[in-house]
Amino acid sequence: MDSKHLPLAEEALQNIPPHQRKNKIISVLKEKFDFQSAHLRTTNNKGDGILSKCFNYDAPNQVKKLDIYPFFKVIEAMNGARVTIDGKDLITVSTNNYLGLTHDARVIKSSQQALTDFGSGCTGSRFLNGTLTLHKTLEKELSEFIGQEDCIVMSTGYQANQGTIACLLGRQDIAFSDRENHSSIYEGCAVAPGKTVRYHHNDMDHLEHLLKKYSDVDGKLIITDSVFSMSGDTANLPGIVKLAKDYKANVMVDEAHGLGVMGNRGQGLTHYYNLEKEIDLYVGTFSKSLGSIGGFVGGNARITEYIRHKASAFIFTAALPPASVAGVTTALEILISEPERISRLQDNTAYIKKGFFDMGFQINNNQVPIVPIKIGDETLTLYFNKLLFESGIFAGVAVSPVVPPFHAMIRSSYTSCHTRKELDHILATFKKIGTDLGIIAQ
């Protein structure tokens, strides 16, 4: 193994066979940083007040000293599948820009035009004074695209989930939420007056068990991500829709990672399964395939009209600014008129997944361009990530509590802009580091 790869464990690894390296590195790293106790178990000093936990929290500093801190990297430039960090050109596999629309010249031009026409902001919330013609145009085009009667453009996808759930889930109602759902769904459930029960991830038997248990409750809402953001799993929507019918529940689907990705036209997992008329609420974001920021919720116009007048996260916040709305509208038009971007994304996804599968990594066999590489131990994952960075690859990590303890992963994601050469470099690099560290067989 190249010794420059091992500033921490260089000596410890001398003469260690590959299959023992992983454990050796973990033990060397653990002597210096115990992720579980340093990051997860934060404490207040008795008598020192609420903020003492902040002064006791030194985990980021410890990780920085070990030179394996992966967060808040400062990006100096970015375009498509490349980013510049610390003056170094890297291939990014940490991006939600699935269709490469963030830097599309037409998107930028329409954002610039809106900035000139309307200024830098909306001067208030959509509710009172911040609704522009631009918002209405986007809402109309989006509704047609997702096959819903109406939709509401909000300031983020987070707010779309949080605001929708919080205003619909009344005191007498109950939400059935997949355990792997996004944090914004958890948040919406937490602030709503109604009760939430969580079913095991994608487990239809458990969902049915819970629906049966609460069958006397009149207001029941099943909530699921369509594509789960960490595992890249897809929801069992046919199973959910069937159970919803059997137990008279409504269904809300968060298509954050489904829009622009699933189905040949990118209309999401609901369309992939031809279930768009069977669900009640379609939530989405503009921060993934549409390359910008913002979110929306779509459905029957009576439902959206209710949400429009009741969702605090929509009413009490500033409207999505003109440049973003116009950019997203153009991005949506491109998504519709250039389906070859989706085909390219699907080809790239299939190519990279086969490469990882052949290396011995456990990979989801679906169209989702999120490819988690499971490492397990948190500190080892941070170390793996650092080696990737040194080899020209900018990846994300998912560590506890985002995933369960000891289920840490390199979270990689792919776009229509990655070239075959870039994908081959990524695969070769993962293979080298994986075998060097004894994570995969040589």
CB of 228 to ligand PLP, least distance (A): 7
Print the binding letters for residues 163-192 with ligand PLP: x by CB under 6 A, - otherwise.
-------------------x-x--------
- Name the segment binding ligand PLP (CB under 6 A); options: 50-58, 251-259, 346-354, 375-383: 251-259
Give me the residues paired with residue 176 across strands.
197, 222
When the beta carbons of 158 and 199 are compared against ligand PLP, the nearer one is: 158
Alpha-carbon span 81 to 75, nearest angstrom: 13
CB of 324 to ligand PLP, least distance (A): 11
The count of residues interacting with ligand PLP (CB under 6 A) is: 14
- Are residues 276 and 282 in contact, defined by beta-carbon separation less than 8 angstroms? yes
CB of 388 to ligand PLP, least distance (A): 21
Please give the full DSSP string across 73-130, using - where no structure is assigned.
PPEEEEETTEEEETTEEEEE-----TTS-TT-HHHHHHHHHHHHHH-S--SSBTTTT-
- Name the segment binding ligand PLP (CB under 6 A); options: 191-199, 252-260, 322-330, 411-419: 252-260
Residue from 139, 178, 225, 276 binding ligand PLP (CB under 6 A)? 225
Residue from 285, 324, 415, 416 binding ligand PLP (CB under 6 A)? 285
CB of 185 to ligand PLP, least distance (A): 7
When the beta carbons of 224 and 416 are compared against ligand PLP, the nearer one is: 224
Residue from 150, 180, 254, 436 binding ligand PLP (CB under 6 A)? 254
CB of 55 to ligand PLP, least distance (A): 30
Residue 311, SS3 per DSSP: coil
Residue from 111, 287, 379, 381 binding ligand PLP (CB under 6 A)? 287
The enclosing H or E element of 359 equals: helix 340-359
When the beta carbons of 102 and 379 are compared against ligand PLP, the nearer one is: 102
Query: Among all chains, which residue has been given the structure tokens 């759930």?
Result: 165
When the beta carbons of 287 and 329 are compared against ligand PLP, the nearer one is: 287
Alpha-carbon span 427 to 174, nearest angstrom: 45
Residue from 130, 157, 194, 355 binding ligand PLP (CB under 6 A)? 157
When the beta carbons of 192 and 437 are compared against ligand PLP, the nearer one is: 192
CB of 126 to ligand PLP, least distance (A): 16
Alpha-carbon span 323 to 138, nearest angstrom: 12
Alpha-carbon span 364 to 378, nearest angstrom: 22
Strand order in the sheet with 396-398: 370-376, 408-413, 396-398
- Are residues 166 and 190 in contact, defined by beta-carbon separation less than 8 angstroms? no
- Are residues 139 and 301 in contact, defined by beta-carbon separation less than 8 angstroms? no
When the beta carbons of 9 and 297 are compared against ligand PLP, the nearer one is: 297
Q: Which residues between 97 and 156 bind ligand PLP (CB under 6 A)?
A: 156
Please give the full DSSP string across 16-33, using - where no structure is assigned.
--HHHHHHHHHHHHHHH-
Residue from 35, 145, 158, 361 binding ligand PLP (CB under 6 A)? 158
Specify the pairing of strand 195-199 against strand 174-178.
parallel
Alpha-carbon span 326 to 134, nearest angstrom: 6
Alpha-carbon span 124 to 105, nearest angstrom: 29
Q: Which residues between 227 and 246 bind ligand PLP (CB under 6 A)?
A: 229
CB of 362 to ligand PLP, least distance (A): 21
Residue from 94, 95, 161, 381 binding ligand PLP (CB under 6 A)? 161
CA distances, 130 to each of 3, 145, 236 (Å): 58, 24, 38
CB of 153 to ligand PLP, least distance (A): 11
Please give the full DSSP string across 268-298, using - where no structure is assigned.
-HHHHTT-TTT-SEEEEESSSTT-SS-EEEE
Q: Which residues between 290 and 349 bind ligand PLP (CB under 6 A)?
A: 295
When the beta carbons of 110 and 285 are compared against ligand PLP, the nearer one is: 285
* Residues at the contact surface with ligand PLP, assessed by CB under 6 A: 156-158, 161, 182, 184, 225, 229, 254, 256-257, 285, 287, 295
